[in-house]
Amino acid sequence: MGYKKLTPEEKKQRAEERKREKWAKRHKTENGIVYKWCTYGEHWVEENEDNFYINESNSIDGYYPYCIECAIADFLEWKKEHPEQYKESLKKHRRTKKYKDRERVLKQEQRESGYTLQWQRENKDKLKKNNEKRKQHKSHEISKEEWKECKDYFKNENGEWCCCYCGLTEKEHKKLYKEQLHKDHAINEGSNTIDNGLPSCKICNSEKHTDDWNIWYTPENPKYDEKRYIRIVEWLNYIKNKLINKSA
């Protein structure tokens, strides 16, 4: 005896029935309030965005099967038992485009609202300590002549030294931050010598953080400019070849 072939409408109806059955196994309604069964804590929790993370791939109710409170508790326990794995997963997460985009937007909002400037004024000791700590790990070995050559390479059409990423001139930079352009490490874990040095404004240097220049400076970056990108590539190739020929 053969099976009856279902029509599209019947298939859709059965799919909806299965969804309702699955929903009924994990939900209950009391006094007009819908509760969802948390698979971690094995308890009922009111179903809403305050208590459950959204899961768009879940077509049954749109949430993950465990409540936020239990998820956080489980994560903290895992973090405590696996510190090294946590550090590695955190590093990996910070390299994702989603994280970088969110950080870029957040920093932009903080700058525009004046929060960044206010924090710097109120935390001068912390700022100084962070800068000193960074200098210990990022001490440049660049002579005045090498640095001048580097900045000359990135002069704008008016012959002014400027940030290789956004084009802010050193003159404008001094007015804003009372300091010269920064010596930025093109490759974060690269050398401290001129073949890894780029002139950067304070903001670009901060936004780039520990990223390599070609990971941070992409078309998705609002500051991206193709001509400046090509200029950076040309400089890094030029200075690398120059040092190779010099040592030969």
- pLDDT tens figures, 150-172: 999 999 999 999 999 999 999 99
Q: Please check whether residue 119 lies inside any domain of the structure.
A: yes
Do 20 and 45 belong together in one domain?
A: yes
Question: Does the pLDDT value for residue 137 go beyond 60?
Answer: no
Closest by CA position to 158, among listed 175, 172, 145, 148 = 172
Phi, psi for residue 169 in degrees, rounded to 5: -75, 155
Do 149 and 231 belong together in one domain?
A: yes
Q: Please check whether residue 87 lies inside any domain of the structure.
A: no
Query: What's the sign of the alpha-carbon dihedral 12, 16, 21, 22?
Result: positive
Do 117 and 168 belong together in one domain?
A: no
Do 151 and 225 belong together in one domain?
A: yes
Do 23 and 35 belong together in one domain?
A: yes
Closest by CA position to 151, among listed 235, 246, 70, 222 = 235
pLDDT tens for 176-214 read 999 999 999 999 888 899 999 999 999 999 888 888 899
Do 123 and 26 belong together in one domain?
A: no
Q: Please check whether residue 41 lies inside any domain of the structure.
A: yes
Hey, what are 91's tokens? 């590093």
Full residue range of the structural domain in which residue 226 is found? 138-248
| Boundary (domain end) residue, out of 49, 76, 103 | 76
> CA of 207: how far to CAs of 122, 157, 185, 217, 243, in Å?
21, 25, 13, 10, 29
Q: What pLDDT does 155 receive?
A: 96
Do 117 and 52 belong together in one domain?
A: no
Buried/exposed code over 159-187 (b: 16+ C-beta within 10 A; e: otherwise): eebbbbbbbbbbeebeeeeeeebbbbbbe
Mean pLDDT in residue range 224-237: 96
